[in-house]
Structure 1
Amino acid sequence: MFGTRPGRDAEVVLLGRSNVGKSTLMREVTGHDFEAGRRPGVTSEPNHYDWTSQSFVVTDLPGFGFMEGVPEEVRERIKTDVVRYVEEYADKILVGVLVLDGNAAVDIIDRHSGPDEVPHAVELFYFLRDVGIPPVVAVN
């Protein structure tokens, strides 16, 4: 699982597919520089911004889905680690901000429109609700 997390009782997490702008959103919200790339898979560990004056942490979780040049087993490990992180800290997470790429969202949903297929973003939205975390959708 991922490394350490600041010891705060409140957290906001940014989640979503790879390369949808989670790190960019975190940079804009916090005013601090975090590594973000133009290709999927740059964030492989959570980026935490410890907002000490307000006693909470904002966390940019790694994206899931396609990551250029990243082996399937690594992608699956990251996805599993994101799920474990959310489950482990669900009681501390105030809100899960599900970041979507507005340009690609419709195409992704159309590609996964089979009766047994659920888009990752939709699955993640319901997962957050199931573990008691209010989801907020941010379209980038």
Structure 2
Amino acid sequence: MAGLIGWLLTFFILISLIGVVAFQLVCLTDLEFDYINPYDLAVRFNKIVLPEFVTQGVLCIVFLLTGHWFMFLLSLPYLWYNVRLYMQKKHSVDVTEIYNQLHWEKKQRLIKLGYLIVTLVMCLFWLLWTIGVDDDEY
């Protein structure tokens, strides 16, 4: 039962991360089509970047504490990338440079989204596997 709760917790954390990255992607698309100005985009982005990084860190800690070593190792590169961005102070969006960096920022968010979807699919597989194993015990 504890394994099932751990997988459910990671599932909901992954869903929240996918929501944050999708929101960032929608904001970038809105800027590209001129539905939002760069100042509003920077405010929205810079509010949710750090919670995204913290949520990814919490996900890694949950994987580590629940003993899901493979998933922990799978999520470590994403955490390392986020920490590297934060340490180099490249995690926030600059209003004056956003149009020059728009293509790169969109590509970065698409890669993150793909990475998170692959992780979510693997998490769902292990969640269903755990449910199947728990049913066999009774």
Q: Same fold (TM over 0.5)?
A: no
Structure 1 or 2, whichever has the larger Rg, is 2
Higher relative contact order (CA 8 A, sep 6+): 2
TM-score by length of 2: 0.31
